[in-house]
Amino acid sequence: MFKKKILKLTRSLLKRLLPLIFKILIKLKLNRRTINFLNNKSYNSNSSYNFTKIIENLLNDKKIVALDVGAQGGFNSDNFFPSKYNIFFEDILIEPIKEEAEKLGNKKSIINKGLWSKKDTKKLYILGGRLGSSSMYEPDKQKFDLHNIKEQNYKNYDVTNTIKIECDSLNNLLTELDIKNLDYLKIDTQGAELEILSGIGNYRPLLIKVEAHIFSMYKDVPSWNSLLDYLYKLNYVVVDWKDIGEHNTRVPAEMDMILIPNFNNEDGKSSIINSKEKFISLMLIFGQLNLLKLILKRLNIDKKELEEFQDLYFN
């Protein structure tokens, strides 16, 4: 009886207090942008740590082999992880637009072609107003409102040119470059992610960052669940995601997803154990502290030097 009275009193208080709390929040202008800002700060909270010394000891002068597909602006140009860790990567950059590829320099690791599920010639829709939004898929203005794009800005998404680009599969490209093992794969290609992954062959990166479109602004882009289904069949699991841009839904219209080998089965565990130094390094670089500790405990891998670090995302 006493518990019921307490519960009733609590409900009554909440009913009276919640409207007051919302009014205070409005007065403080704690709106969606503010919340997003705080979420972003939380997401990047582990960036305050510097794991450089630990990673140096782990890798022992080895490099993390990285393939950046859609490398406009350079490797890690979006600063998805702290740039202080760029030195640990041997990066291969894929940029199909010739002028943009030339801006990246004359390094051997810059490939001026596209990736697809097989060797082919594809049409690339160039968006002169937003070059980074150029795609193998044509923009669909009927869907722009969902992405909170104002009508006066539609012109920024006009197709100003189309070019034919030479494409090859991820498997063929890496074989030609004599890359035996790929450690990190990033694909940001405005809808072509599933087609590119379909050409991955037997390569199994330790960490994949891929852009997924829940509501795509391009025509005929494969559904995001098809992309995820394919990655799960390759024995990967999603461990993180971050929304991209503005939208008018209560889910992200687009998001960057992070996937790693499925540590819940033997194949995934084997992939991690066989390259544990690089796997640990990547998880530290991407700030995945709690999950890393959990996986290392399951695999009986001792890493006492990580005990002093708390995952600030959860605090």
Q: Write down the pLDDT at residue 13.
A: 65
Per-residue pLDDT of the chain (315 residues; tens, 9 = 90+): 555 556 556 656 655 665 666 566 555 555 555 555 556 656 788 989 999 999 999 999 999 999 999 888 889 988 999 999 999 999 999 999 988 888 887 666 899 999 999 999 999 999 999 998 999 999 999 999 999 999 999 999 999 999 999 999 999 999 999 999 999 999 999 999 999 999 999 999 999 999 999 999 999 999 999 999 999 999 999 999 999 888 898 899 999 999 999 999 999 999 999 999 999 999 999 999 999 999 999 999 988 889 889 988 887
Strand partners for 236: 261
Q: Write down the pLDDT at residue 195.
A: 97
Q: Per the domain annotation, does 25 fall within a domain?
A: no
Give the H or E element holding residue 164. strand 161-168
Whole-angstrom distance, CA of residue 288 vs CA of residue 237: 14
Q: Per the domain annotation, does 305 fall within a domain?
A: yes
Q: Write down the pLDDT at residue 18.
A: 59
Q: Write down the pLDDT at residue 303.
A: 83
Q: Write down the pLDDT at residue 26.
A: 55
Q: Write down the pLDDT at residue 123.
A: 96
Q: Write down the pLDDT at residue 115.
A: 96
Angle between helix 52-59 and 276-285 (nearest 10): 160
Question: Quick one: residue 61, left, alpha or beta (phi over 0 = left, psi -120 to 50 = alpha)?
Answer: left
Q: Per the domain annotation, does 295 fall within a domain?
A: yes
How many independent structural domains does the chain possess? 1
Q: Per the domain annotation, does 15 fall within a domain?
A: no
Contact 27, 145 (CB under 8 A): no
Q: How many C-beta neighbours within 10 Å does residue 136 have? A: 23
Contact 189, 136 (CB under 8 A): yes
Q: Write down the pLDDT at residue 313.
A: 87
Q: Per the domain annotation, does 277 fall within a domain?
A: yes
Q: Per the domain annotation, does 3 fall within a domain?
A: no
Q: Per the domain annotation, does 104 fall within a domain?
A: yes
Whole-angstrom distance, CA of residue 61 vs CA of residue 55: 10
Strand partners for 255: 212, 243
* SS3 (DSSP) at 124: strand
Contact 50, 305 (CB under 8 A): no
Range of the domain at 132: 31-314
Q: Write down the pLDDT at residue 27.
A: 55
Q: Write down the pLDDT at residue 228.
A: 97
Q: Per the domain annotation, does 147 fall within a domain?
A: yes
Whole-angstrom distance, CA of residue 194 vs CA of residue 3: 54
